[in-house]
Amino acid sequence: MRLVVICIGRLKQGPERELAERYRERFEDIGRKLGFRGLEIHEIAESRARDAGARIAEEAAAISALLPEKHALVALDERGKSIDSASFAQQLGRWRDEGTAHTVFVIGGADGLSPELQRKALLRIAFGSATWPHQMVRVMLLEQIYRAATILAGHPYHRA
């Protein structure tokens, strides 16, 4: 299974990009041994439309254009479900074992994701009830993906 992260907004050079890249590289190292075929990150420029509805629609169209044909969609949503790392790992492992070709994680723009993308998501997750900057959400997601791989591998990184 290939993992894909689609993000509205770009990470500039700096500590967030370095940390995101560190977790992506760590995942690549351990993920191959677990049957994961890589981790792609696609950045989409934020819409410049005047109203929120138009921005959400433009961003949804750009996200949808990047969705592979067969995929499990996971939406990062502040109103999503809070799940622990072990449950997250179990879900990724289940999709991998079921032969899911791609698991796609979507981080929307400042106005959120379109209702259509939210409906299509098999899982909607939140990193707590706080509102986080999109660049931090990306780092936290990549860390959780890496942590999930270590849990599936029985690696001691996760000590809960």
Half-sphere exposure of 146 (CA within 13 A, CB side): 19
Separation between Cα atoms, residue 82 and residue 46, nearest integer Å: 26
Q: Is the dihedral of CA 32, 121, 98, 88 positive or negative?
A: positive
- In this structure, the chain runs to a length of 160
The answer to whether 76 is a known ligand-binding residue is yes
Per-residue tokens: 41: 């990150």
The answer to whether 66 is a known ligand-binding residue is no
Rg (CA), the chain: 15
Binding-site annotation, residues:
76, 108
Binding-site annotation, residues for S-adenosyl-L-methionine:
76, 108
